[in-house]
Structure 1
């Protein structure tokens, strides 16, 4: 489904030094690891390429918001999550299994989940989004009632992934299979996208997920 969809090409922007996923864990594990912001970088791009999240970068560096960075600024990279490699492997296997069972590209779902939470089921955002797929409680209730047909515990890794994929499927159908509008709906809310168009932060989110998808193939 999503794995075979074509995405539009945009000019490359932002971060210069792309860090391969294979080196992310080693980089983030160092307490002294840092990154010097280059002209044109965004915090979301830095998060993708250093294997962390925007929320962690904001918290670690005491930033007022994700938009307050400047060229030449040195950011401290957050320490790696406390989860063991087995835990990370289990999350990856869970996403792979559930994505395939529901006809989705595992690489796509893994990319979205990494962008949302870094595959951390303990993460709860400041807005209240929960777990691996960062599902809002109201969305979880809707998915439970109308899409899955059973109560879902968003704090349970399996149910969280099921809820996220079911919601993706719902958005996919509402957007007639448009990959980027599906992602925009997941991040910004489909009603907002329809009424306001996609915000610049949403465009960056889409770029990041699609870039990560290629890395997870």
Structure 2
């Protein structure tokens, strides 16, 4: 998880994060919020951000799938409806260089709607001359009984959540402590404790890990004749907790992490192998040792672009918003950390800059995890030393 150069440490009290400034009552209990989050984060919250997987179509093209020759990729055929008048919905004819993002922005629609109206996948390329609908077809116009029933199904009754039983996980290629903990609904610390592991431990395919489910003790019965106390409504369960490796993060940071987790989960995502290719190719293009970039990416997320940590570290390279702004300055354009290509570009740009600024390779690797100023001021923490050891081992493996 990279830190901007002026940041000190990975201590939660110093952890870089972007909060919203409150105005109104001094205690912050009410009043308006001024949103100071990066523009890419605001776009993602409003649903207008580019669909993440579209970036894979063009590594150097930023956040979108660009128009390309007909033979290069899948293009959804125009729908053919027999016996019916052609829909009167507005249309856009694709010009060279057009992208889903550019078309959506030009016409004030969301990318996911544009994809749905035209039966496109996130990986589809646009061809010059191709016609795109800019509104829902008449047959699926809002208000018709069939379409409304399809769009607004009755919500399913929530199923009771049961505590997971103790089980065993067999490590597969690409697994990380974080992804295993998320899959089995346990904390990383519990996974480490149950298997006598450290944060720097390497996982090997075929290795078996014990995963103990959390069992809550039954509540003691209340004395007869007493009125049961009224229970407060429980807080909704969050996909991203507030503690990681013994550090507890502030509420605003964790709330931002959960928003980013929800946004990433709602988008098509590249596979781990596709993310590995993006990391390799981006490193080559930016003049960074591909084995080093792959080692960082594997250590940070196991090439899982949907990974989000309680520190609000996002995506394959686990970049926090403040570090994303720093990386945007390094490459000269705004980077969207939710986009696969931009996320990797941010991480590789930071690796490249740290390699130029740090006095040694070990310090550069440590700075990605702890921050360069933090390493120079405090030295490497114990977990930072383990991080450096793991990244160097991964680098040797990827460079073989």
Bin of the TM-score, shorter chain as denominator length: 0.5 to 0.7
Structure 1 gap ranges (5+): 1-31, 36-46
* Distance in structure 2 (CA, Å) of the matches to 1:67 and 1:89: 25
Give yes or no for contact 2:317–2:343 (8 Å, CA) kept in 1. Answer: yes
Bigger CA drift: 185-194 or 59-68?
Answer: 59-68
Q: RMSD over aligned Cα, in angstroms?
A: 3.1
Q: In the alignment, what sits opposite 1:129?
A: 313
| TM-aligned CA deviation for residue 69 of structure 1 | 1.5
For 1:52 and 1:72, how far apart are their aligned partners in 2? 17
Give the TM-score, by structure 2 length: 0.38
CA shift, 1:159, in A, is 0.6
Write the distance in 2 (CA, Å) between the matches of 1:111 and 1:173.
Answer: 18
Q: Which has the higher helix share?
A: 1
Determine if the alignment matches structure 1 residue 56 to structure 2 residue 182. no
SS of 1:151's equivalent in the other structure is coil
Aligned to 2:103: none
Partners of 1:152 and 1:160 within 8 A in 2: yes
Q: Is the 8 A contact 2:301 2:315 kept in 1?
A: yes
For CA contacts below 8 A with separation 6 or more, give which structure has more relative contact order: 2
Deviates more, 1:106-115 or 1:66-75: 66-75
Given candidates 185, 196, 199, the residue that maps to 2:378 is: 196
Structure 1 residues 122 and 170, CA gap change in structure 2 (3 angstroms): same
Counterpart position of 1:7: none
Aligned length: 167
8 Å CA contact 1:54–1:66 kept in 2: the answer is no
Instruction: Extract unaligned runs of 5+ from structure 2.
Output: 1-166, 198-208, 213-264
Q: Which residue of 2 aligns with 1:65?
A: 189
Asked if 2 retains the 8 angstrom alpha-carbon contact of 1:187 and 1:202, the reply is: yes
**Structure 2 CA distance for aligned equivalents of residues 119 and 71 of structure 1:** 23
For the residue of structure 1 that corresponds to 2:322, the secondary structure is: helix
Q: What TM-score does the superposition give when structure 1 sets the normalisation length?
A: 0.67
Q: Distance in 2 between matches of 1:166 and 1:93?
A: 17
